[in-house]
Amino acid sequence: MTTTQTTAIPAIGEEAAIEIAKLNKWYGTFHVLRDIDLVVGRGERIVIAGPSGSGKSTLIRCINRLEEHQSGRIVVDGTELTNDLKNIDKVRSEVGMVFQHFNLFPHLTILENCTLAPIWVRKIPKREAEETAMHFLAKVKIPEQAHKYPGQLSGGQQQRVAIARALCMRPRIMLFDEPTSALDPEMIKEVLDTMIELAEDGMTMLCVTHEMGFAQAVAHRVIFMDQGQIVEQNTPKEFFNNPRSERTRLFLSQILGH
Amino acid sequence: MSETHSETAAPGRFAYVRETMLPPEPPPLAETGAIKWLRENLFSGPLNIALTFVGLGIVWLVVGTVGPWLSHSVWNAGSMAECRQIIAETWGEGAHGACFALLKHRWNQFLFGFYPQELYWRPVLAFGLLFLALAPVLFADSARARRIVLGLAIALTLAVSALLGAGAAALLAMAALMLGWAGLIETRRQWSLLASLAYPFVAVWLLWGGSLWGEAMAMAGFVLGYGVWLLLGARFGMLAFALAVVAAAAWWLLLSGPVASGLAGLVPLRLGPVSSDQFGGFVLSITIGVAGIALSLPLGVILALARRSDLPVIKVLAVTFIEFIRGVPLITLLFVASLLLNYFLPPGTNFDIILRVIIMVTLFASAYMAEVIRGGLAALPKGQYEAADALGLDYWKAQRLVVLPQALKISIPGIVSTFIGMFKDTTLVVFVGLFDPLKAMADTIRASFEWKGAYWEPYVFVGAIFFILCFGMSRYSMYLERRLKRDHR
């Protein structure tokens, strides 16, 4: 795996895929996200790391409005997320999401999982949607499972289907919420390989993960969060070799220590 | 591997490498077959042995009581007195026996109430067509089961109609209609669903008779409303829905009457009218039961969704409705239907009593249905909702395509229990003066001089028919659960 490392933060004026400014969110009285500022460039790949409860999942779930934010601005692909349902649906159909627990629809076949949203949201004819689905299922290397149900597949296969399902909507941005955390070690690699391939195609990616090898291989930028704040961000090389904050050093020593 | 082994563990006493894998072997003989079953299930310990003998004792008692009553039964007699005499002569004084001769004479009243005898074919046909209307929905993805059901429905409807004395021409027409419909189901399933939607109107026409145009115009109102929704729904959303309702209501109130009578003048499609007070027995129970089942499921779904809604007004309305209806006995609602509604309706309006009862039974069942379905909705993992949202499906599409198919599947046992309970509750209509098969019909028959004192026989007969119908529903629900099983665990 070789990827060219670009500059950490996109230059001003470069077209941004996501702009987050002064984002704050509370669960009840608990302040989960505190003054988050983040600009994601087109084609940029960001890995978000941090201890559990640091708000990293909440942050990417705010980007497609699975979580509502209380103050600040989130602009995705030129559309600001407000209470306007039309804008929310527009952003959601442009942003693909992959969950920790796959969340495939168990009552539908793999193929139907992949064609549901294209047919009902994008209004693509069924045949065309099926062709697209088969294309992406081939890309994640499980076209032969198309007519099975999710319950018949292994965890790694299910997660690859989930990636294919998101790609079938032809999203401009992909969000990954700990995509390998629920998988057996043997299956993590097949999912990471799929994600690396996706990265090579130039997809804009935000990925919450503990896979530091993946971060080093793929990310342009690593963001470290703690207590709802961005504590440190840098290129993977600098982040891992030369962490600046004490909190980051502690975190890295704990996850890389054994 | 072997290298690491030799490096780290070779000199120690833990070193071990398996050379061959063991093949699986059959279990010991004492662990299989009938002996194992008996030992494990009936005689596994002192308590179980005792329970086994108590159980056998109870079976002996029941068989010893019911057995003679059934085996001493009399089928050929003209009255209860004659029955008793025959039993006493054959089995000696003091012997008990069932007098099923009652059923031989009066079975038709249990089934059809006071429905005109020469028109019995109409409810029979309506009941047969019910299965044709349901088959493409209930047996959508199993051609074999569907064909068996269709074949049985057609054959039995024709056979029963013939036995009830339908003429050759009528039988031919019925056969043509049903075979044509079955052909449509097997070749053009989408179109046959339209026929299924038209079924309720056809059934109402067959049961109550009169001019077909009345029912046709009622249906036209729905088509009109749907047309308005199709035309404007995409652009105006809820406003278009309101418009559709207004258009349909205007049609029903203002135009459908004159148009129907105009058309009836041109092409009179009439069946002899049968009034609601001639309904009784199972014709009444099944009419109310089927209508209540068909209406309470969609209403229950809407109430369940409303109760989980984020909009406080809708949620409060749903909770109030559900809790109020569940907190009141069904009989109270039936009394409201028969008495109170008259006060609220403008004087002179004649609002059919069966229709009123159907409305109340539907409301009652839908409150329970809503709670059953809410359980199914709550059982779905949050991730399913999130995945649907993340793909950009809007609320209604997410509900229809992702949430409800799974939630309803989970709720099948509860839904069918509610159906079965409601169907049996239709016997309560006796309290508002309708002739249910269990109490009102049995009382009516007992009121005649010949069958005075026949208590057990009607209950056994009516109970058996209820059991067959309810057991059928229960078996179908189990079949459906197996059929929809997708987790393959």
- A61, A63, A105, best to mutate vs chain B, most B CBs in 10 Å: A105
Q: What confidence score (pLDDT) does residue A11 get?
A: 45
End-to-end CA distance of chain B: 34
Q: Would you say residue A8 has pLDDT above 50?
A: no
Tens-digit pLDDT profile for residues B188-209: 888 889 899 999 999 999 999 8
Q: Show residues of chain B in contact with A99, CB under 8 Å.
A: 383, 386-387, 390
Q: What confidence score (pLDDT) does residue B243 get?
A: 87
| CB within 8 Å: A121 and B487 | no
| Nearest by CB: B392 against A89, A107, A151 | A89
Question: A169 in contact with B at a CB cutoff of 8 Å?
Answer: yes
Q: For residue B424, count other CB atoms closer than 10 A to its CB.
A: 15
Question: A165 in contact with B at a CB cutoff of 8 Å?
Answer: yes
Higher pLDDT, B35 or A58: A58
Q: What confidence score (pLDDT) does residue A45 get?
A: 93
Instruction: Give percent helix, percent strand, percent coil of chain A, each to the nearest 5.
Output: 40, 25, 35
Percent of chain B with pLDDT over 90: 45
At residue A27, what are phi and psi to the nearest 5 degrees? -100, 105
pLDDT-based confidence at residue B328 (cuts at 50, 70, 90): very high
Q: What confidence score (pLDDT) does residue B11 get?
A: 58
Q: Show residues of chain B in contact with A104, CB under 8 Å.
A: 387
Please name which of B336, B321, B306, B324 lies closest in space to residue B431, comparing C-alpha atoms.
Answer: B336
Tens-digit pLDDT profile for residues A100-153: 999 999 999 999 999 999 999 999 999 999 999 999 999 999 999 999 999 999
| Nearest by CB: B390 against A64, A106, A116 | A64
The residue-averaged pLDDT of B103-109 equals 89
Mean pLDDT across chain B, nearest whole number? 88
Cα–Cα dist A20/A28, whole Å:
22
Q: Would you say residue A99 has pLDDT above 50?
A: yes
| CB within 8 Å: B383 and A103 | yes
Q: Would you say residue B346 has pLDDT above 80?
A: no
| CB within 8 Å: A169 and B488 | no
Q: What confidence score (pLDDT) does residue B463 get?
A: 94
Q: Show residues of chain A in contact with B402, CB under 8 Å.
A: 105, 116
Q: What confidence score (pLDDT) does residue B159 get?
A: 93
| Nearest by CB: B401 against A65, A93, A116 | A116
pLDDT-based confidence at residue B217 (cuts at 50, 70, 90): confident
Q: What confidence score (pLDDT) does residue A7 get?
A: 39
What Cα–Cα distance (Å) separates residue A242 from each residue in A140, B35, B331, B354?
Answer: 35, 73, 78, 82
The residue-averaged pLDDT of A169-189 equals 92
Q: How far is A121 from chain B (nearest CA, A)?
A: 6
Q: How far is CA A203 from the centre of its chain?
A: 11
Q: Would you say residue B28 has pLDDT above 80?
A: no
The residue-averaged pLDDT of B303-316 equals 94
Q: Chain B residues within 8 A (CB-CB) of chain A?
A: 381, 383-384, 386-394, 397, 401-402, 405-406, 409, 484, 486-489
Q: What confidence score (pLDDT) does residue B488 get?
A: 54
Contact of B266 with B227, CB cutoff 8 Å: no
At residue A241, what are phi and psi to the nearest 5 degrees? -85, -30
- B311, B386, B391, best to mutate vs chain A, most A CBs in 10 Å: B391
Cα–Cα dist B89/A183, whole Å:
80
Coil, helix or strand for A36? strand
The residues in A 71-90 lying below 8 A from B, measured between CB atoms, are 85, 89-90
The residue-averaged pLDDT of A165-185 equals 93
Cα–Cα dist A226/A220, whole Å:
20
Q: How far is B488 from chain A (nearest CA, A)?
A: 6
| CB within 8 Å: B409 and A107 | yes
pLDDT-based confidence at residue B216 (cuts at 50, 70, 90): confident
Q: Determine which of B151-160, B211-220, B221-230, B480-489 has the lowest per-residue pLDDT on average.
A: B480-489
The residue-averaged pLDDT of A203-223 equals 92
Tens-digit pLDDT profile for residues A235-253: 999 999 998 899 999 999 8
Mean pLDDT across chain A, nearest whole number? 89
Q: What confidence score (pLDDT) does residue B1 get?
A: 44
Q: Would you say residue A5 has pLDDT above 80?
A: no
Q: What confidence score (pLDDT) does residue B19 get?
A: 85
Contact of A138 with A181, CB cutoff 8 Å: no
Q: What confidence score (pLDDT) does residue A4 get?
A: 40
Q: Specify the pTM.
A: 0.85
Q: What confidence score (pLDDT) does residue B352 get?
A: 84
| CB within 8 Å: B383 and A121 | no
Question: A121 in contact with B at a CB cutoff of 8 Å?
Answer: yes
Cα–Cα dist B288/B316, whole Å:
29
Cα–Cα dist A207/A219, whole Å:
9
Please name which of A164, A128, A126 lies closest in space to residue A145, comparing C-alpha atoms.
Answer: A164
pLDDT-based confidence at residue B487 (cuts at 50, 70, 90): low
Cα–Cα dist A243/A232, whole Å:
8
| CB within 8 Å: A121 and B392 | yes
Contact of B154 with B182, CB cutoff 8 Å: yes
Q: How far is A18 from chain B (nearest CA, A)?
A: 16
A50 exposed, middle or buried (CB, 10 Å; 0-12, 13-18, 19+)? Answer: buried
Q: What confidence score (pLDDT) does residue B12 get?
A: 65
End-to-end CA distance of chain A: 24
Strand order in the sheet with A221-226: A95-98, A173-177, A204-208, A45-49, A221-226, A229-234
Cα–Cα dist B122/A122, whole Å:
48
pLDDT-based confidence at residue B53 (cuts at 50, 70, 90): very high
| CB within 8 Å: A85 and B390 | no
Q: What confidence score (pLDDT) does residue B23 get?
A: 87
| CB within 8 Å: B393 and A103 | no
| CB within 8 Å: A103 and B384 | yes
Q: Show residues of chain B in contact with A65, CB under 8 Å.
A: 389
The residue-averaged pLDDT of B415-439 equals 92
Question: A140 in contact with B at a CB cutoff of 8 Å?
Answer: no
Q: What confidence score (pLDDT) does residue A14 get?
A: 56
DSSP letter (8 states) at residue B426: G
Q: Would you say residue B171 has pLDDT above 80?
A: yes
Higher pLDDT, B407 or B212: B407
Question: A106 in contact with B at a CB cutoff of 8 Å?
Answer: yes
The residue-averaged pLDDT of B352-362 equals 91
- A65, A104, A107, A163, best to mutate vs chain B, most B CBs in 10 Å: A107
Question: A107 in contact with B at a CB cutoff of 8 Å?
Answer: yes
Cα–Cα dist B246/B253, whole Å:
10
Tens-digit pLDDT profile for residues A149-158: 999 999 999 9
| CB within 8 Å: A99 and B387 | yes
Q: What confidence score (pLDDT) does residue B6 get?
A: 47
| CB within 8 Å: A121 and B397 | yes
What Cα–Cα distance (Å) separates residue B32 from each residue in B25, B36, B37?
Answer: 14, 6, 8
Contact of A257 with A31, CB cutoff 8 Å: no
Please name which of A63, A54, A74 lies closest in space to residue A225, comparing C-alpha atoms.
Answer: A54
pLDDT-based confidence at residue B75 (cuts at 50, 70, 90): confident
| CB within 8 Å: B386 and A152 | no
Q: Show residues of chain B in contact with A114, CB under 8 Å.
A: none
Q: How far is B17 from chain A (nearest CA, A)?
A: 23
